[in-house]
Amino acid sequence: MALERTLSILKPDCLQSGAIGQVVARLEAAGLKPVAMRMHQLTTSEAEGFYAVHRERPFFRSLVSYMTSGPVVLMALEGDNAVAKNREVMGATDPAKAAPGTIRRDFAKSIEANTVHGSDSTDNAKIEIAYFFRATELVKYDVKR
Ligand code: CMP
């Protein structure tokens, strides 16, 4: 198994649902260890840059507006196959299509206010983590259960 890192964002609806703790608990239970974590209010230009790949999509302006509508929690998660594992625990982008027991199925309000973001590849994970965190902000510790 490959030890990987991935970027996770707890979106404004997650904070407004009072679900930070529940979502982080699910990630940790899945073996995804937060190695960097920060609360943040995204600016419009930060959100536009982060989601630049979606710039031509019809939902882009609404997505930027939503992601800047309230604070988020930024996290770098580390674990075996962290990118795929995080996406499995999150569930499908559209909560109506997300599998039972996934974060989006249980907490998300809509395809836009879908509670969490997770990197979609190891290459993008590196880019996305570097977008928000300096290398010196990533910590090391062992989890012993
Ligand atoms: P995320 O995983 O952060 O990546 C892009 C985001 O765009 C997605 O989650 C949703 O919040 C948002 N979005 C809004 N509408 C759509 C759509 N129709 N398809 C995909 N993503 C959408």
Q: Is 106 in the pocket of ligand 1 (CB under 6 A)?
A: no
| pLDDT of 1 | 77
If you average pLDDT over residues 87-94, what whole number do you get? 98
Q: Does residue 118 have a pLDDT over 80?
A: yes
CA 65, 71, 90, 81 dihedral sign is positive
pLDDT band at 117 (very low <50, low <70, confident <90, very high): very high
| pLDDT of 42 | 99
| pLDDT of 130 | 98
Q: Is 72 in the pocket of ligand 1 (CB under 6 A)?
A: no
Distance 59 CA to ligand 1 centre (A): 8
| pLDDT of 132 | 98
Burial class (CB in 10 A: 0-12, 13-18, 19+), 79: buried
Mean pLDDT of the chain: 98
Counting from 1 in the atom list of ligand 1, the atom nearest the Cα of 114 is 11
If you average pLDDT over residues 89-102, what whole number do you get? 98
Name the closest-CA residue to atom 8, ligand 1: 112
| pLDDT of 145 | 85
Q: Does residue 128 have a pLDDT over 90?
A: yes
Mind listing the pLDDT tens digit for each residue in 20-53? 999 999 999 999 999 999 999 999 999 999 999 9
If you average pLDDT over residues 61-89, what whole number do you get? 98
Distance 144 CA to ligand 1 centre (A): 35
Using a pLDDT cut of 70, give the percent of the chain over it.
100
Residue type, 137: E
pLDDT band at 144 (very low <50, low <70, confident <90, very high): very high
